[in-house]
Chain A
Amino acid sequence: MNMQAEHFSKVANSENFFRKLLSLAGVFIIVILLAILFTLFISSFPAIRTFGIYFFSGSTWDPVRSEFGALPFLMGTLATSLLALAISIIFSLPISIFLGEYFTQGGKATFIKSMIELLAGVPSVIYGFWGLFVMAPLVRKLELSLGVAPLGVGIFTASLILAIMIIPYSASLAREVISLVPADLKEAAYSLGATRLEVIQKVILPYAKSGIIAGILLSLGRALGETMAVTMVIGNRNSIPNSIFSPANTLASIIANEFTEATDSIYLASLVELALVLFLVTTFLNTLGKWIIHRMAVNR
């Protein structure tokens, strides 16, 4: 009897231990995230204290005179990401309609799906390398014919590369949402005599709208933080870009270029503050996108 009781208490102990271990793993992730946020904040504090709001409005980034204004990089990031987003939607939306409505299964669907997956799997440094040696010369020709300075590298080239890179992300989410549109809604429209185009226009797209927007937000989050490909083709110039062909820098590319050179502490703190901004903006976009998807799933 006593032995049995002992055995049970042993089992109960090991159960308790196991449950605690699992919870501990869960807590660990939360701690990691908080530690990341805390680290970024503490390390960038000297810059936050010294420059305050000027950090976001100043247009001079001069490590020699210890003057750090991030406006050029904010503008560069915004310009490249939005342009890339606009270009990518032209292709990602058709892909998602192709896979979500016209060809939901079969050979063509499998082919396109695996190609898109491969596109997502190409490392970003290879996109950058290819962009630098293949895309940039093409853009240079375009610039020559347009009469702008033929640099080849710049916001436009970076946006093109970035657009190719984010197509898979917005396409895959939009496809999922489009294929979730209830069949009876579509059938009702067909029975009223609508053509397929009209069903897509008036039933599918309105129904899937918020999911498509969520996909766009998530791919914007990726575009903002993309580093290597952009660093290699954007031209790296620390002033406010004045046209879509001019060389610039993004938040991520300036960090990649200058972080190892940053010797004095205020320089380092300013670069970490850029990382903090990047972290907060991408987290906001991702959380918003996920929240929209979650709300859609609950409503259904």
Chain B
Amino acid sequence: MESYSVKRRIFYDKLFKAIIVFLTFCSILPLFFILFFITSKGISMINWDFLTQLPKPVGEWGGGISNALIGTFLLVIIASIFSIPIGILTGIFLSEYRNGQLAYLTRLCTEILQGIPSIVIGIIAYIWLVIPLGSFSALSGGIALGLMMLPVIIMATEETLKLIPDSLREASLALGVSYPRTVLKVILPAGFSGIITGILLGTARIAGETAPLLFTAFGSPYMNYNILKPINSLPLVIFNYASSPYPEWHKLAWGASLVLIILTLILNLFTKLVTKKWKIQF
């Protein structure tokens, strides 16, 4: 009787482990399905024309996504210009004054900001920028994306700078280096890799975002470099083409999806390499 029960317990133990391993592998299957489908449907679309031509109107076969590629790039640039300086400064503030009352509030607000649904950010950018400026614009889309990138950079900067040992700062101060110089020339460079990782993570987060662009950047069939005019972006193209009734446009959307997925994968991979190469070790 005794040995039976021990056997049973061991059996359950092994069964449980098998179930855990099975379910874990099941849950990564969707990733392969998605990658497989996008690649198999999109690969035939990708050629030089697809990447360098403008979209054509319905009925005409062909056309490319060059304006969306440029648009995504411009939007990311605007978002970075807005969020990187403020993000790094706030990150320094949080790590330098970690126990202050103001830092506590700032940290709380950063966390809340990170949790705001992207569609709400889109509405905010619409009310703040699109209504006063009178038209949809790349600027409003970039700011919306910047608002989403900001908390990622703040948190990455804070986490990295916190890890830097006090001895480094004390050594610098003991040499008579002023406090701002110590922060800018000693502490910040020591945390460089973490900050870069944060920026890359933030970029990866916003590069595929669609919801905040729906009523800010809005999309446009033309090539546009003016940041006060509507602009196209890859995720917007995918959304607009995928929800259209034309099979030719669906094909374009598969192609655009493949390009977008490759871009985000490269960003993720690059982030990992950077983290490995310049990891702070003390």
Residue numbers of A with Cβ under 8 A of B are 11, 14-15, 17-19, 21-23, 25-30, 32-33, 36, 39-40, 43, 90-92, 94-95, 97-98, 102, 112, 115-119, 121-130, 132-134, 164, 167, 195-198, 200, 221, 224-228, 232, 252, 255-256, 259-260, 271-272, 275, 278-279, 282-283, 285-287, 290
Which 5 pairs from chain A and chain B are nearest by CB?
A225-B117, A123-B208, A286-B115, A25-B89, A91-B27
Q: How far is the CB of B201 from chain A (nearest CB, A)?
A: 10
Contact with A along B101-132 (1 / 0, CB 8 A): 01101101111111111111011101110000
Chain A minimum-CB-distance residue to B104: A26
CB pair A122–B90 under 8 Å, yes or no, is no
CB pair B28–A116 under 8 Å, yes or no, is yes
CB pair A115–B31 under 8 Å, yes or no, is yes
CB pair B180–A102 under 8 Å, yes or no, is no
CB pair B13–A196 under 8 Å, yes or no, is yes
**Of residues 2 to 60 in B, which have CB atoms within 8 Å of A's CB atoms?**
9-10, 12-13, 16-17, 19-21, 23-24, 26-28, 30-31, 33-34, 37-38
Q: How far is the CB of A66 from chain B (nearest CB, A)?
A: 20
CB pair B210–A130 under 8 Å, yes or no, is no
CB pair A195–B23 under 8 Å, yes or no, is no
CB pair A121–B90 under 8 Å, yes or no, is no
Q: How far is the CB of A212 from chain B (nearest CB, A)?
A: 15
**B94 at the A interface (CB under 8 A):** yes
CB pair A94–B19 under 8 Å, yes or no, is yes
**B278 at the A interface (CB under 8 A):** no
- Which B residues touch A43, using CB under 8 A? 127
Complex-state Cα separation, A18 to B89, whole angstroms: 10
CB pair B9–A195 under 8 Å, yes or no, is yes
Best-buried of A27, A29, A43 by chain B (most CB within 10 Å): A29
Chain A minimum-CB-distance residue to B109: A33
Best-buried of A21, A33, A282 by chain B (most CB within 10 Å): A33
Complex-state Cα separation, A232 to B239, whole angstroms: 8
Q: How far is the CB of A30 from chain B (nearest CB, A)?
A: 5
- Which B residues touch A133, using CB under 8 A? 37, 242, 250
Best-buried of B97, B106, B119, B265 by chain A (most CB within 10 Å): B119
Among A14, A29, A91, A124, contact of B113 (Cβ-Cβ < 8 Å): A29
Question: A15-B178, A119-B30, A278-B119 in contact; A26/B20 too (CB < 8 A)?
Answer: no
CB pair B120–A98 under 8 Å, yes or no, is no
Among B38, B113, B215, contact of A126 (Cβ-Cβ < 8 Å): B38
CB pair B210–A22 under 8 Å, yes or no, is no
Among A28, A132, A227, contact of B119 (Cβ-Cβ < 8 Å): A227
**B76 at the A interface (CB under 8 A):** no
CB pair A167–B204 under 8 Å, yes or no, is no
Contact segment of B63-71, B188-196, B253-261: B253-261
- Which A residues touch B23, using CB under 8 A? 90-91, 94-95
Given A94-B20, A129-B238, A227-B211, 6 additional A-B pairs, CB 8 A: A29-B109, A130-B37, A197-B17, A225-B118, A255-B119, A272-B123
Best-buried of A92, A94, A123, A232 by chain B (most CB within 10 Å): A123
Question: A94-B23, A123-B208 in contact; A256/B119 too (CB < 8 A)?
Answer: yes
